[in-house]
């Protein structure tokens, strides 16, 4: 029963989406609001139907309905309850349903929010969103149907990929997809602006909050992905420049650029063409990312691939790019820059530079990701482009961006006089330069790491300078310190939200620099009772134990860790799942503000007499997650509606 209802619901949803897209377009072109209203109802219908599909699929998972092929492949009788829910989006078909559901939810919210306020743009926004919706529903009904039956019905399923049995599985795809699908909204508005010819500032002002929200979820998804990689995948790192990681990173970079260049358009009415292009590029990269993940064209640890789905995504990507860029070319004349700038020393310049660097970084990541394909196409030789490349080429760009992060908020709009530059930057520059010596003394020898730390101090100082000065100004007007600070944050929440986000990024940068520059590791084989020492830690191998879990067989090592005083017993394990070809490493670690101790169990003797263990002492990694939390606070602050009460 379930497969039939689910399949039918998806097909009806597809029909409704197509109808709605067409109706909204025709309705606004021919001046028939009834059609636009009908499109709205269609969108609501789509939401209800997709929710039903999602619910049915979840129900099938929860009740071990192995008559559905998707359920049988991704779960088995031993899968714990909560992982049965997250398994719904654990593989291709379910992930598309999740995407479609979020898209339909966003469409609904757009309707509720904008049907009154955006008269000319709104119907076209609806058209675009429903058209994108229709594509994903097409994929669900034709290319990757989740409701396919399996005959004969197996007694037990294959099981979830063990790497996905983790809390990160609940949040990472959800956050990431909320980011990806959220970026559809600015794109829809951009196309609406181009189609309707209203390429002024209205569309971008309306989408500012959408962009921040989508950007925030994307950031969250990336950070959680890093956390997941760190504590599940067993290699002690949080970012591998895997093609699919890159696929999420590229739209994040361009979305960050957009968040900044929007401010130039708001103030100076310039960069219209650039902003439209950025939005189109960002959405295009989102689609490119989803194409990479699902087509198997570039090998990746994430890629879940299947049959013809790559062709669907590539075709849609082509359609979107041709349409959007064609519209852009059509409206070219209306988008020519009319404004002018006052001075090269200004915040506008800083933002422009920021954009160039961010887009350059996105291009670097893009080129490196597709280069293996290019190499094979041109000369038939396969090459790899991995972390060393991406790190080396991106680091200068990121360092420059960090510098700009300190300069941008303090430099004046329009024209920064030398006097104001001196006043704003003398302390931060001095502090930054002076901090080089202490860092060097602490053991930071690499030029890059040193520069990164110095820039961290510089940026932190600029944020403080601004905040302190503004608080002082309010104090002079009679407010006490704390209410003054609070008032600042709330009244100028956009500005200070941005500052807090910058602070969050800064802390993440601190964590990244520290972990890259200072982490150490070693690998050794220990007999029972033997110990290895690294960075002040002593790790002694106590023995192995075996246990039978609900869906796997686990061998756990016990290692006593101490660094002067006892830290505890770490228990990295190797988990043997019947459906997996090789064992999955289960790491154990102790996190700390200063450093993490991290153990991975390697080979071991069957009788438990010896084991190979990889020991890592990772420095400052926890600051990456702390930075993420700060970034969250900043984003929330920035999203708040502007308070317009008198100072």
Query: Interface residues for another protein in 250-309 (CB under 8 A)?
Result: 269-270, 291, 295-301, 303
The stretch among 117-125, 140-148, 164-172, 361-369 that binds another protein (CB under 8 A) is 361-369
The least CB distance from residue 37 to another protein, in Å, is 33
The least CB distance from residue 364 to another protein, in Å, is 4
| Alpha-carbon span 516 to 624, nearest angstrom | 12
The least CB distance from residue 54 to another protein, in Å, is 30
Q: Pick from 349, 516, 551, 622 the residue near another protein by CB under 8 A.
A: 349
Establish if 5 lies at the interface with another protein (CB under 8 A). no
Residues 423-482 that bind another protein (CB under 8 A): 427-428, 431, 435, 438-439, 442-444, 457, 460-461, 464-465, 467-468, 470, 473
Establish if 420 lies at the interface with another protein (CB under 8 A). yes
What does the angle CA 585 – CA 586 – CA 588 come to, to the nearest 5 degrees?
130
Q: Sheet of 610-619: strands edge to edge?
A: 520-527, 610-619, 595-604, 588-590
| Alpha-carbon span 248 to 242, nearest angstrom | 10
Residues 380-419 that bind another protein (CB under 8 A): 380-389, 392-393, 397, 412-414, 416-417
| Alpha-carbon span 480 to 205, nearest angstrom | 35
Q: Pick from 620, 624, 631, 635 the residue near another protein by CB under 8 A.
A: 620
CB 465 within 8 A of CB 427: yes
Residues 494-553 that bind another protein (CB under 8 A): 494-496, 514, 518, 520-523, 533-536
Give 17 or 510: the residue with its C-beta nearer to another protein.
Answer: 510
Establish if 58 lies at the interface with another protein (CB under 8 A). no
Q: DSSP for 493-561?
A: HHHHHHHHHHHHHHHHHHHHHHHHHH-EEEEEEEETT-EEEETTEEEEEEEEEEEE-SS-EEEEEEEEE
Give 487 or 602: the residue with its C-beta nearer to another protein.
Answer: 602
Tell me the site size for another protein, rule CB under 8 A: 130
The stretch among 164-172, 220-228, 249-257, 322-330 that binds another protein (CB under 8 A) is 322-330
The least CB distance from residue 252 to another protein, in Å, is 18
Give the x-and-dash track for 575-594 against another protein (CB under 8 A).
Answer: ------xxx-x-x-----xx
Nearest to 260 by CA among 359, 175, 338: 359
Q: Pick from 98, 143, 357, 500 the residue near another protein by CB under 8 A.
A: 357
Residues 180-219 that bind another protein (CB under 8 A): none
In 191-246 the beta strands, taken as DSSP E runs, fall at none
CB 43 within 8 A of CB 13: no
Give 285 or 631: the residue with its C-beta nearer to another protein.
Answer: 285
Q: Pick from 356, 546, 566, 629 the residue near another protein by CB under 8 A.
A: 356
Q: Pick from 12, 314, 436, 489 the residue near another protein by CB under 8 A.
A: 314
| Alpha-carbon span 429 to 207, nearest angstrom | 36
| Cβ-based neighbours of 39, under 8 Å, separated by 6 or more | 19, 20, 21, 23, 24, 27, 123, 126, 127, 130
Give 49 or 259: the residue with its C-beta nearer to another protein.
Answer: 259
Give 112 or 468: the residue with its C-beta nearer to another protein.
Answer: 468
Give 379 or 480: the residue with its C-beta nearer to another protein.
Answer: 379
Nearest to 563 by CA among 521, 526, 535: 535
Give 374 or 566: the residue with its C-beta nearer to another protein.
Answer: 374
Give 478 or 564: the residue with its C-beta nearer to another protein.
Answer: 564
In 350-461 the beta strands, taken as DSSP E runs, fall at none
| Alpha-carbon span 620 to 239, nearest angstrom | 15
Give 51 or 323: the residue with its C-beta nearer to another protein.
Answer: 323
The least CB distance from residue 575 to another protein, in Å, is 12
| Alpha-carbon span 16 to 20, nearest angstrom | 6
Q: Pick from 124, 258, 619, 627 the residue near another protein by CB under 8 A.
A: 619
The least CB distance from residue 534 to another protein, in Å, is 6
The stretch among 83-91, 149-157, 250-258, 372-380 that binds another protein (CB under 8 A) is 372-380
Give 521 or 556: the residue with its C-beta nearer to another protein.
Answer: 521
CB 415 within 8 A of CB 343: yes
Q: Pick from 367, 422, 527, 643 the residue near another protein by CB under 8 A.
A: 367
Give 67 or 435: the residue with its C-beta nearer to another protein.
Answer: 435
Q: Pick from 52, 108, 167, 363 the residue near another protein by CB under 8 A.
A: 363
CB 89 within 8 A of CB 98: yes
The least CB distance from residue 356 to another protein, in Å, is 4
Kind of pairing between the strands at 520-527 and 537-548:
unpaired
| Alpha-carbon span 405 to 350, nearest angstrom | 9
Give 112 or 383: the residue with its C-beta nearer to another protein.
Answer: 383
- List beta partners, residue 272: none
CB 440 within 8 A of CB 450: yes
Give 26 or 400: the residue with its C-beta nearer to another protein.
Answer: 400
| Alpha-carbon span 167 to 179, nearest angstrom | 19
The stretch among 8-16, 68-76, 109-117, 365-373 that binds another protein (CB under 8 A) is 365-373
Sign of CA dihedral 637, 507, 278, 111: negative
Q: Pick from 602, 610, 636, 639 the residue near another protein by CB under 8 A.
A: 602
Give the x-and-dash track for 133-172 against another protein (CB under 8 A).
Answer: ----------------------------------------
The least CB distance from residue 200 to another protein, in Å, is 15
* Phi, psi (deg, nearest 5) at residue 610: -150, 160
Give the x-and-dash track for 325-344 against another protein (CB under 8 A).
Answer: xx-xx--xx---xxxxxxxx
| Alpha-carbon span 552 to 404, nearest angstrom | 50
Q: Pick from 21, 68, 617, 631 the residue near another protein by CB under 8 A.
A: 617
| Alpha-carbon span 394 to 400, nearest angstrom | 10
Give 112 or 566: the residue with its C-beta nearer to another protein.
Answer: 566
Give 6 or 498: the residue with its C-beta nearer to another protein.
Answer: 498
| Alpha-carbon span 165 to 83, nearest angstrom | 6
Q: If 0-12 CB within 10 Å is exposed, 13-18 middle and 19+ buried, where does residue 28 land? A: buried
Give 40 or 456: the residue with its C-beta nearer to another protein.
Answer: 456
Give 154 or 602: the residue with its C-beta nearer to another protein.
Answer: 602
| Alpha-carbon span 425 to 430, nearest angstrom | 8
In this structure, the dihedral spanned by the alpha carbons of residues 292, 214, 277 and 251, taken in order and rounded to 10 degrees, is -30
């Amino acid at each position: 029963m379930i497969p039939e209802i689910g399949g039918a619901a998806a097909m009806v949803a597809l029909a409704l989406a197509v109808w709605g897209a067409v109706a909204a377009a025709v309705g606004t072109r021919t001046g028939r609001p009834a059609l636009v209203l009908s499109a709205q109802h269609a969108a609501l219908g789509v939401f209800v139907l997709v929710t039903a599909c999602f619910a049915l699929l979840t129900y099938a998972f929860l009740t071990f309905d192995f008559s559905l092929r998707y359920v049988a492949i991704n779960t088995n009788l031993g899968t714990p309850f909560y992982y049965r829910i997250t398994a719904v989006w654990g593989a291709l078909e379910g992930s598309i349903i999740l995407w479609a559901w979020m898209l339909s939810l966003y469409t609904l919210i757009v309707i509720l929010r904008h049907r009154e306020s955006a008269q000319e743009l709104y119907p076209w926004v609806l058209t675009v969103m429903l058209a994108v919706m229709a594509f994903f529903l097409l994929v669900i009904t034709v290319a990757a149907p989740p409701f396919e039956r399996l005959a004969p019905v197996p007694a037990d399923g294959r099981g979830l990929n063990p790497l996905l049995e983790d809390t990160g599985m609940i949040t990472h795809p959800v956050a990431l997809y909320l980011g990806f699908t959220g970026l559809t909204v600015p794109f829809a508005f951009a196309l609406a602006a181009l189609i309707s010819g209203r390429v002024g500032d209205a569309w971008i002002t309306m989408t500012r909050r959408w962009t921040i929200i989508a950007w925030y979820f994307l950031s969250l998804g990336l950070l959680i992905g890093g956390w997941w990689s760190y504590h599940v995948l067993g290699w002690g790192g949080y970012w591998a420049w895997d093609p699919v990681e890159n696929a999420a990173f590229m739209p994040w970079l361009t979305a960050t650029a957009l968040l900044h260049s929007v401010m130039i358009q708001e103030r100076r009415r310039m960069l219209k063409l650039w902003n439209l292009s950025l939005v189109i590029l960002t959405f295009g990269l989102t689609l490119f990312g989803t194409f990479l993940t699902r087509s198997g064209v570039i090998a990746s640890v994430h890629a879940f691939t299947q049959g013809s789905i790559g062709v669907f995504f590539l075709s849609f990507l082509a359609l979107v790019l041709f349409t959007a860029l064609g519209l852009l070319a059509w409206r070219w004349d209306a988008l020519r820059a009319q404004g002018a700038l006052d001075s090269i020393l200004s915040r506008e310049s800083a933002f422009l530079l920021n954009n160039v660097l961010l887009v350059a970084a996105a291009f670097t990541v893009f080129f490196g990701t597709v280069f293996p394909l290019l190499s094979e196409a041109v000369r038939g030789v396969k090459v790899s482009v991995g972390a060393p490349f991406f790190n080396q080429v991106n680091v200068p760009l990121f360092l420059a961006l960090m510098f700009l992060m300190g300069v941008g908020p303090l430099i004046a709009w329009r024209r920064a006089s030398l006097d104001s530059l001196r006043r704003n930057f003398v302390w931060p520059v001095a502090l930054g330069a002076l901090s080089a010596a202490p860092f060097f003394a602490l053991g930071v020898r690499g030029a890059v790491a040193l520069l990164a730390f110095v820039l961290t101090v510089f940026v932190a100082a600029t944020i403080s300078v601004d905040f302190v000065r503004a608080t002082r100004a309010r104090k002079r007007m009679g407010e006490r310190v704390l209410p003054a600070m609070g008032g600042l944050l709330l009244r100028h929440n956009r500005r200070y939200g941005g500052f807090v986000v910058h602070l969050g990024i800064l802390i993440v940068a601190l964590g990244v620099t520290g972990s890259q520059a200072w982490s150490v590791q070693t690998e050794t084989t220990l007999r029972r009772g033997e110990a290895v020492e690294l960075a002040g830690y002593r790790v002694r191998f106590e023995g192995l134990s075996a246990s039978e879990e609900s869906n796997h067989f686990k061998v756990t090592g016990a290692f006593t860790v101490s660094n002067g005083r006892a830290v505890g017993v770490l228990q990295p394990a190797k988990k043997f799942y019947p459906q997996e070809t090789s064992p999955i490493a289960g790491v154990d670690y102790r996190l700390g503000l200063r450093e993490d101790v991290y153990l991975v169990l390697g080979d071991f003797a069957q009788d438990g007499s010896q084991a190979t263990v990889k020991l890592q002492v990772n420095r400052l990694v926890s600051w990456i997650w702390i930075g993420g939390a700060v970034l969250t606070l900043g984003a929330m602050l920035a999203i708040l509606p502007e308070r317009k009460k008198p100072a």
